[in-house]
Every structure is written in structure tokens, then in C-alpha cells.
Structure 1
Amino acid sequence: MSRAATTRNAGPRLLLPAARGAAVALLTALVVAAGVHTSWDTARYVMIPDDRQSGRLTLESCDKDACTGSFEPDREDGTAAREAVRMAQPIGRTEGETVPVVLRPDTDDAMRTGLPGVLYSWLPLTGALLLAAVVIAGGLRLYRIGWIVAGSGLTLLVATFLAW
């Protein structure tokens, strides 16, 4: 084979790995962006509770999915106490426990505040990081970066359940 023929065919051979790498990088970015978008839906209320109805929820009845109880507001700004507020329960809670919460606007859904609430609200991003680590290591062959992303996702996951 002549030298000119080898040079002419090198273009398509180099283009395919570059396109594959770009597609995998785009997939990774999409997974992480979806995790951020999903997490922000809850995190914005937990992290920035200034204008929100914040207070304490006294748990009265709990099942495996959620706890309900009475809500007492922290401020005297016209926020009324509520008798039936619901909080998702990822980890077992006991009746009679009092938890600091913020209410989602125009609903009776409560979300825990403080460090446990912030970590729990970012849990979808944690899952996205764990999934992205597999894609980074397997698809892009960037093993060290994959391990770093997986380690940060696992650290967030463990911290969430230790703080809750």
C-alpha cells in the first residue's frame, strides 16, 4: 500500500473514536445535569428557606412511606399552624419526634431543613454521580476520574444517611 493511500484513509479511522468519546461525554453531562435538575426541585426550598413557611413538625403517625403530624411555624408572620402535614420518610422515625421542616409552597408537604435536609434533597445528584462514574470509567476509559466521581457520590450517599 502506498503512503498516499494510508494517509487518505486515516481520517475516517480517527473520526470514529473521537465521535464515540464525544457521545459518551455528552451522555455523562446529561446524566449529571438531570441529577442537578431533579435535586434542585427540592433543594431550593430547603437551602433558601427565607420566604418559606418554616417551623417544626411533630410526628403523630408514621407508616413505611411517610409521616404526618402537626406543624407549628417558627415566625409570627401570619403563617398558620396546620394539623395535617406530610413528610416523606426515607428512614424510620418515631411518633412524638419533632423535626425542623419547611413547607413546599401551596401544599401540605414538608421537607426537612438543616444539614440532613440539604443532603437528602441532593440525593438524586448523588445517584447521578454514581451512574456517571460508571460511564466515565467504562465509556471514556478515564479510570481515575471515574473513581473520584464514584468516591464523591458514595461519600455523599453515606453522609446523607448518617446525618438523617
Structure 2
Amino acid sequence: MIPAMPASAAAAARSRQASSAVLRFGRVAAMGGVAVVILIAGVWASWGTAQHVLLTKGREQGTVEVTRCGGGSCSGPYAPVSAGSQARDRVVLEDSVAVAAGRTYSVVLKPGSDDAVRSGPAGVLYAWVPLGGALLLASVVVAGGLRRVRAAWVMAGAGMALLTAAFLVV
């Protein structure tokens, strides 16, 4: 027969269980917070461009034929497509691997400026690239810190799909 456990040993066992539960909760809360901050940062970084591409009602839409690239930007004449938009001799488009001199792109102008953002499927996907990177980074935190492997694979898959689609379309 096993002798009864002394009261002090039982109290110590309960204390260890309570402290491990508190540490587990702290880990989940901290890593969950980190993952949420990473995702919010990805949305925030993407929204600066995506708002112009997604919410086009009332914005000037048209095409720009890129004539010159240099210094991190490309420029060219703007031909309006939407009603109320006016032709311009020069609008500025961010220089990236997706913009080349001599090509024509559909764009949306940022209100009150001559800055243009690519529109259409290529513009939408390119605008959300920072979110794709944030999904990939947050998936590592979710898998390692939260130990939610399936959720991490879903996040990583969504991030890779977004980045791959943007690469292929742009």
C-alpha cells in the first residue's frame, strides 16, 4: 500500500502546476501578440497603396506610357480613361521590377498629386505584397511560439500564394 502524500508535497505539486499554467498562458499571450502585431504591420504597409487601387470610385483612372526611369521613379504622359480626369504631361510611377520604360500601364492617380499607382489585377496583387511577407513571418511565430502548426501552414500557404501570384501577374 502507498502511504498518503504529506500535505506539503501536495501543496508543492499544485504550486508547480499553477506556475506552469501561468507560464503557458504568458507564452501564448506574448506570441499571439507578436503574431497580431506582425499581421497589423503587414496590412498597414499594404493599405497605403491598396486603398488607391481598391477604392477607385471618384479617383482619376487612366494609362501612363513610361518614357523615363531614374532615381527610384518612372514618369510619362498620362491619358485619362475615367470621366472627369484630365490629361497630364507627366505623372510619376514608383520604379520597381514591374515597370519598364516604353510600356503602357493602367494607373490610378493619388488624390491631389501627380503620383500614380498601378491598377488592375497586377496593381492589386502588388499592393498586398507586404501582407504576404507578414503572413510568412507570422506563420513562423504561430508555429514556434503558439505551437499551432496547421494554422501556421495555412498562413504560410496564403502568404506564398499571394507572393507567387503577384510575381506571376506583375
Same fold at TM > 0.5: yes
Shift of 1:10: 2.3
Q: Tell me what 2:4 maps to.
A: none
Q: Tell me what 2:109 maps to.
A: 103
- 1:36-115 matches, within 5 Å, as 36-63=43-70, 65-77=72-84, 79-115=85-121
Aligned amino acid, residue 46 of structure 1:
V
- Partner SS, residue 2 of structure 1: helix
Q: Of the candidates 31, 36, 44, which is equivalent to residue 24 of structure 1?
A: 31
User: TM-score if structure 2 supplies the norm length?
Assistant: 0.88
Question: Structure 2 vs 1, CA of residues 2 and 104 (structure 1 numbering), >3 Å: closer, same or farther?
Answer: same
Greater CA radius of gyration, 1 or 2? 2
Q: Tell me what 1:154 maps to.
A: 160
Shift of 1:33: 1.1
| Identical-residue share of aligned pairs (%) | 39
Question: Structure 2 vs 1, CA of residues 10 and 95 (structure 1 numbering), >3 Å: closer, same or farther?
Answer: closer
> Gaps spanning 5+ residues in structure 2: where?
1-7
> Gaps spanning 5+ residues in structure 1: where?
none
Shift of 1:64: 7.1
CA RMSD of aligned residues (A): 1.6
Question: Structure 2 vs 1, CA of residues 3 and 67 (structure 1 numbering), >3 Å: closer, same or farther?
Answer: same
Q: Tell me what 2:18 maps to.
A: 11
Q: Tell me what 1:118 maps to.
A: 124
User: TM-score if structure 1 supplies the norm length?
Assistant: 0.91
Aligned amino acid, residue 53 of structure 1:
E
Distance 2:69 2:44 in 1: 29
Aligned amino acid, residue 163 of structure 2:
L
